[in-house]
Amino acid sequence: MFSLDERLRKDTIEIGQLGLSILLLMNDCELPWLILVPERDGIRELDELSPQDRSRLIEEIAAVSAALRRLYCPDKINIGALGNIAPQLHIHVIGRFLNDRAWPGPIWGTGPVEPYEEEKGRAEVALIRAALKGRLR
């Protein structure tokens, strides 16, 4: 049975369910940072997904990337699947800016992270849900 990695649960705010993946908002108000977690039990690596699920995941990544671009106009979108700390397969889709705290390097480990205030977090979730209307369940 599928369950979300505890670290991912702790560090994120749930947005909703795409066709294959749970969509999460990283609780870091400095960057538009989304995470897709395919709802498949025990999957740690991309190649462990079926070909059909890999295709669905790529389409979900593309849709989320396009939504971030429309909403936030980032200078670049970074997409990554590291899994060194939370080994469950999850894909980061991050809007990056020339003036963000880590540019041009990777964002990981550049804290401290500033979490969303509760109301602002709810507003971000609503904004992203609206941008992905018709894709979220």
CATH number assigned to the domain covering 6-131: 3.30.428.10
Backbone φ/ψ region at 41: left (φ over 0), alpha (ψ -120 to 50), beta: beta
The pairing of strands 33-38 and 76-80 is unpaired
* Cα 72 to Cα 97: distance, rounded to the nearest angstrom: 10
Among 77, 112, 68, 81, CA closest to 96: 77
pTM for the full model?
0.96
Task: Spell out the domain ranges in the chain.
Answer: 6-131
The segments of the chain whose pLDDT lies below 50 read none
Half-sphere exposure of 62 (CA within 13 A, CB side): 6
* pLDDT recorded at residue 112: 85
**Residue 43 DSSP SS3:** coil
* Cα 30 to Cα 115: distance, rounded to the nearest angstrom: 8
* Cα 83 to Cα 15: distance, rounded to the nearest angstrom: 21
| Residue range 53-88, pLDDT digits in tens | 999 999 999 999 999 999 999 999 999 999 888 999
